[in-house]
């Protein structure tokens, strides 16, 4: 049996990579007072229909929808922001704090063609700053994304930003853009012509070179923005300059979700391939209010974990593995002293592996060498009777005796001088 198309198993050696990412993100976000939140994988379908937009690909093509036994319309969450917004409203988090800073890491689901870096079940790390309308909050979330990438020692990225204004400003721009694109409708296929009539902004993100050439002379959204939108965007740019965070203003950058306004941004790898977006986000000041909550201007982003692992594969592979003690038992009688030894190792938080194979001593030592352990604790008949451990150092093949009464002292030495 194979996993379903577009899904994959995450194996034990890969879990270590996931833990590294989680720990790095948690350490950085905790300093900035972001608290972790977990939302259900299942949500009411109407939640996403209200927030994402009826003419988006996610709603029309990609959501996993089904009816449960009571005929309720259920969806596997396709993205994290809307679920966090729903949790913010339903749990009335706004009563305790005017500004809530939240982060999450978990699986999302979209029905799309599986390819490298894109799966039907995928995982995202995301942050949401709920309750602030000032440009500095936009800059804070962008800076945190950059800090996480830098902590992963990844520098081959570029930050693209744009202002997509308000819903009213985009509505005026859509009319101008549709008028311009209609002149070239004979160059477009049926699906693209349909998109021009329903959601023309998505054409700006088209990867086809001929479409890109046509868009060079298309109307620019920035020319339809009022002073409030322009001033907000200019302030974001000034802060990024002050922080020495390089950025590119991409006039054609629009996010694929209807709830965004003002700042939109993407962080992309410089490698040349279609799936090059590592992180994307922006401001969404009306989402929570439109879902029935209080007026709560917000900003956030989501980062694809699978894509992050692909671009940083070498970094993760080079992470040094912690040396682990390998415990060998030769006598199946009266071996209960092993639990005292294990309890000591737990107290000192020293990683160990207990051999459970019942093989002879030579085979167990060979196994310890093969899996690159450094130290063997050997317990045979004599050791158990006389209450000592034979310590075998595998890199030098030397041995020593440590009596149980001296074990604490020896473990302290190991922890602070050898296993670091």
Binding site members: 79-81, 110, 124, 128, 255, 259-260
List Cα–Cα distances, 297 to 82, 132, 259, in angstroms.
Answer: 14, 6, 11
Annotated binding site for L-histidine: 79-81, 110, 124, 128, 255, 259-260
Structure tokens that stand for 122 in this block: 């995928």
Q: In terms of C-beta density within 10 A (0-12 exposed, 13-18 middle, 19 or more buried), how is residue 18 classed?
A: middle
* Alpha carbons 236 and 263: distance in angstroms, whole number: 8
Please report which residue ranges of 41-134 form alpha helices under DSSP H. 45-51, 57, 81-90
Say how many C-beta atoms besides its own lie within 10 A of residue 203's C-beta: 21
Instruction: Return the SS3 of 103.
Output: strand
Q: In terms of C-beta density within 10 A (0-12 exposed, 13-18 middle, 19 or more buried), how is residue 375 classed?
A: buried
* Alpha carbons 78 and 126: distance in angstroms, whole number: 13
Question: What does the buried/exposed string (b/e) look like for 291-328 if buried means 16 or more CB atoms within 10 Å of the residue's CB?
Answer: bebeebbbbbbbbbbbbbbebbeeebeeeeeebbbbbb
CB 110 within 8 A of CB 76: no
Rg of the chain taking only CA atoms, in angstroms: 28
Question: What does the buried/exposed string (b/e) look like for 20-34 if buried means 16 or more CB atoms within 10 Å of the residue's CB?
Answer: bbeebbeebbeeeeb
Q: Would you list the DSSP string of 259-285?
A: T-EEEEEEEEESSSSS--EEEEEEE-S
Question: How far is C-alpha 100 from the geometric centre of its chain's CA atoms?
Answer: 20
């Amino acid at each position: 049996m194979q996993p379903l198309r577009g899904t994959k198993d995450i194996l034990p050696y890969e879990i270590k990579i996931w833990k590294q990412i989680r720990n790095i993100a948690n350490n950085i976000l905790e300093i900035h007072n972001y608290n972790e939140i977990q939302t259900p994988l299942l949500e009411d379908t109407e939640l996403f229909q209200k927030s994402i937009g009826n003419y988006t690909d996610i709603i029309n093509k990609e959501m996993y929808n089904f009816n449960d036994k009571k005929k309720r319309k259920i969806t596997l969450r396709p993205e994290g922001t809307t679920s966090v917004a729903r949790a913010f409203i339903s749990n009335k988090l706004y009563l305790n704090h005017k500004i809530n800073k939240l982060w999450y890491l978990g699986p999302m689901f979209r029905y799309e063609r599986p390819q490298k870096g894109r799966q039907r079940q995928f995982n995202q790390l995301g942050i949401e700053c709920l309750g602030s309308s000032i440009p500095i909050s936009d800059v804070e979330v962008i800076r945190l994304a950059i800090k996480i990438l830098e902590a992963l020692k990844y520098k081959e990225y570029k930050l693209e930003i744009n202002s997509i204004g308000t819903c009213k400003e985009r509505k005026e721009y859509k009319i101008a853009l549709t008028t311009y694109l209609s002149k070239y409708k004979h160059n477009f296929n049926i699906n693209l012509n349909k998109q021009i009539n329903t959601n023309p902004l998505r054409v700006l993100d088209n990867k086809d070179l001929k479409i890109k050439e046509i868009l060079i002379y298309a109307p620019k959204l920035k020319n339809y923005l009022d002073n409030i939108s322009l001033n907000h965007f200019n302030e974001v740019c000034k802060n990024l300059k002050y922080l020495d965070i390089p950025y590119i203003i991409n006039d054609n950058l629009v996010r694929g979700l209807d709830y965004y306004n003002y700042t939109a941004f993407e962080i992309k790898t410089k490698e040349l391939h279609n799936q090059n977006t590592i992180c994307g986000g922006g401001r969404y000041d009306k989402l929570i209010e439109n879902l029935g909550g209080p007026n709560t201007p917000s900003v956030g982003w989501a980062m694809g974990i699978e894509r992050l692992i692909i671009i940083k594969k070498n970094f993760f592979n080079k992470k040094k593995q912690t040396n682990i003690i390998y415990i060998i038992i030769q006598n199946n009688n009266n071996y209960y002293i092993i639990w005292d030894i294990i309890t000591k190792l737990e107290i000192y938080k020293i990683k160990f592996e207990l051999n459970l194979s019942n093989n002879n001593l030579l085979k167990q030592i060979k196994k310890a060498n093969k899996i690159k352990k450094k130290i063997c604790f050997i317990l045979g008949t004599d050791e158990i009777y006389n209450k000592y451990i034979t310590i075998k150092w595998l890199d030098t093949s030397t041995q020593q005796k440590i009596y149980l009464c001296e074990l604490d002292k020896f473990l302290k030495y190991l922890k602070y001088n050898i296993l670091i």
